[in-house]
Structure 1
Amino acid sequence: MMPDLGKYADAVLSSYAVSLVLLALIAWLSLRRSKRIKRELEEVETKVKSNG
């Protein structure tokens, strides 16, 4: 299933690995930020509702 990469196999496979790690990191950071922003928005909405 995998093509013969010859002497470039290490470089290609390590590039794929680095790319996947970076994508996972970006997704994790995005989810973490989303949770933080949602929490902050709920706090602001609560303050606004209590002030009338």
Structure 2
Amino acid sequence: MMPELGKYAATVLSSYGISILLLVALTALSLRRAARVRRELAAVEARRKP
């Protein structure tokens, strides 16, 4: 069910594509950073315990 976009089809579809790619990239970077911070926190907590 694709709406008729006429002469703007390429612009609209490329905008959707770029937006999806940016969302995927931001999600991946956030998940990667969260994992790194979690590892660093675990290391700090392990050093703190006697």
Q: TM-score, normalised by structure 2?
A: 0.97
- Does 2:19 correspond to 1:5? no
Q: How many residues align?
A: 50
Alpha-carbon RMSD across the aligned residues, in angstroms, is 0.5
Distance 1:3 1:21 in 2: 22
Which 4+ residue blocks in structure 1 deviate beyond 6 angstroms? none
- Structure 2 stretches of 5 or more lacking a match? none
Question: What residue is the counterpart of 2:32 in the other structure?
Answer: 32
Q: By how many angstroms is 1:45 displaced?
A: 0.2
Q: By how many angstroms is 1:19 displaced?
A: 0.2
Distance 1:38 1:49 in 2: 17
Distance 1:3 1:35 in 2: 40
Quote the sequence identity (%): 56
